[in-house]
Structure 1
């Protein structure tokens, strides 16, 4: 499963970044640094990827933007919040469905230990 290999690299890169930079920076800083780190590891990374939505037969291109899309298969949603909540997970699941992707990672850099700030969300990906 390609998604799992990519996700493992994202988690590893997030750990490296959190160890070096720590919490306290803007989400946009973590976004650009994580994208850079993943590209250095040979992954294709797109930032702020627009995803359109359909509603009542109409298509709206102003839907939303994915923070990161890695190797066209894993969505990364970055947060800088006190703690991840159920609504963050549901939001990412909606993003996965609209983008037709099977795996997403929520990465909250506002934690003492990055392992406590990473959550895996699946959309039809076998566990």
Structure 2
């Protein structure tokens, strides 16, 4: 899968979540909904991944 295909799927998932939930909710609600949509679309995602900063 090319990068344009991946970003197209991601944007589609973002629009689906926003159109379904609308504005005004906590960020954690949007995060959970977006993770669900991304997994449903076939993408492998992780949430709140720890990164080492040097």
- What TM-score comes out, normalization by structure 1 length? 0.40
Superposition deviation, residue 7 in structure 1: 1.3
Distance 2:10 2:21 in 1: 16
Question: Matched residue pairs, number?
Answer: 54
Alignment correspondent of 1:44: 44
Distance 1:5 1:48 in 2: 24
Per chain length, whose mean CA-contact separation is higher, i.e. which structure has more relative contact order (CA < 8 Å, sep 6+)? 2
Superposition deviation, residue 29 in structure 1: 0.6
Superposed CA RMSD: 1.3
Q: Which runs of 4+ in 1 moved over 4 A?
A: none
Which structure has the bigger radius of gyration? 1
- What TM-score comes out, normalization by structure 2 length? 0.87
Alignment correspondent of 1:20: 20
Q: Would you tell me which structure has more strand in proportion to its own residues?
A: 1
Superposition deviation, residue 3 in structure 1: 2.7
The superposition leaves residues 3-62 of structure 1 with CA deviations (integer Å, 9 ceiling, x where unpaired) of 3221111111111111111011111111110000110111101000111011xxxxxxxx
Alignment correspondent of 1:82: none
